[in-house]
């Protein structure tokens, strides 16, 4: 477990913070996920009309929906869909009722 790093801030996974795994061993921690949520899900108005397809670090698909780019590691992206999936997984873990449907 000590080898698992967040792809977006390279912080090692510790038990006191949530970490969500992507499909190919990539990971995002709760802190980065919060930042990603704010910039993708919450920022509904600011769409990316001229978005070029960008490879999402979590699902490895070329995505044209909104993506969050890591400020510290610009090669790391997470797409809107993965943000939603990861947030749901974290909410399950933490019993965070605020994001539950
Ligand atoms: Zn992180
Ligand atoms: Zn994705």
Averaged pLDDT in 10-residue chunks for the chain of 101 residues: 84 87 91 93 64 90 92 95 93 62 48
> How many structural domains comprise the chain?
1
Q: What is the pLDDT of residue 63?
A: 92
Ligand nearest to the CA of 78: 2
Has residue 70 been placed in a domain?
yes
Ligand nearest to the CA of 20: 1
Is there a contact between 6 and 27 (Cβ–Cβ < 8 Å)?
Answer: yes
Has residue 7 been placed in a domain?
no
| Domain membership of residue 58 as a residue range | 19-99
Taking the centre of ligand 2 as the mean of its atom positions, its distance from the CA of residue 2, in whole angstroms, is 24
Considering the entire predicted model, what is its pTM?
0.81
Has residue 58 been placed in a domain?
yes
Has residue 14 been placed in a domain?
no
Taking the centre of ligand 2 as the mean of its atom positions, its distance from the CA of residue 54, in whole angstroms, is 10
Q: What is the pLDDT of residue 51?
A: 65
Taking the centre of ligand 2 as the mean of its atom positions, its distance from the CA of residue 61, in whole angstroms, is 6
Has residue 64 been placed in a domain?
yes
């Amino acid at each position: 477990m000590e080898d698992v790093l967040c792809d977006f801030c390279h912080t090692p996974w510790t038990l006191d913070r949530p970490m969500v795994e992507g499909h190919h061993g990539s990971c995002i921690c709760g802190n980065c996920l919060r930042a990603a949520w704010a910039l993708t899900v919450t920022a509904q108005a600011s769409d990316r009309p001229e978005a070029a397809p960008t490879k999402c670090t979590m699902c490895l698909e070329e995505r044209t929906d909104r993506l969050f780019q890591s400020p510290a590691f610009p090669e790391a992206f997470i797409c809107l869909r993965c943000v939603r999936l990861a947030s749901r997984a974290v909410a399950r873990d933490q019993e965070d009722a605020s994001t539950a449907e």
